[in-house]
Structure 1
């Protein structure tokens, strides 16, 4: 590799790193709103946005505001494409937990209770489901959840409180 090619590659890597550092947090927040809190989908879209930026780095605007506008436009288009792709595909269903095997003590009552909890959880708003999932499924602390979702800790506490209250009401507890 020649010195010029090496310098060009290093310059491109430095520019891409700077673009990611400057714009990725805002892009992720934007995509989280578009995906209604589906973090994995938003992160996939962010990665695709940055990949397209890398592929078109030579034509990407150099001005901060122009490059930001370009990235947000690409991210929005990726989100639109994702929605369209989902509409043409069959509905995706979640994987069943195959590690759970009923034993002789399990009863229909247990199955009914599990179904009631699942339905009550699905009835929550996406923001409430996300907070409860982060806290109780992933075991994240309040500060960690706040950082991941880009919201204040007080908002996390409030959403958790109201989500649990909604679950209690739905379950008649």
Structure 2
């Protein structure tokens, strides 16, 4: 078994290098590798396929197998939820998930209301509310007088209010 410990020294080094530590997790991986070695040796002995001269060799397939098993265990531990400190507690299970249905519905309704406006009214609302421009900036961009921008905005908002009120009355009825 002494030669296995030399092979496991490399396994411990792989774990330590992968995690930048040399403490308990390396010992846990070493113990897991030893369990796998023991179960593999017992299986090979039962099948009569074990060759004693290869069993204690630090070269060839046994050493490669040890390093592969170690690497796989290290990767499994790094990918596990425990390594990422993920826990599922009772308080997490009962948390309601956010419902975006209201926002989606409001967006659909708002889009429908905006489509009922004329192109000129939508354009003024786009520049003043969505782009955040002032009346003067909107007038300059659109090439129309500032008074026309104010008038279109006023009438567009009135149309939206009345249409939205009709939608609410329809839903309630």
Which TM bucket (shorter chain)?
A: 0.3 to 0.5
Q: Structure 2 length as normaliser, TM-score? A: 0.38
Q: Structure 1 length as normaliser, TM-score? A: 0.38
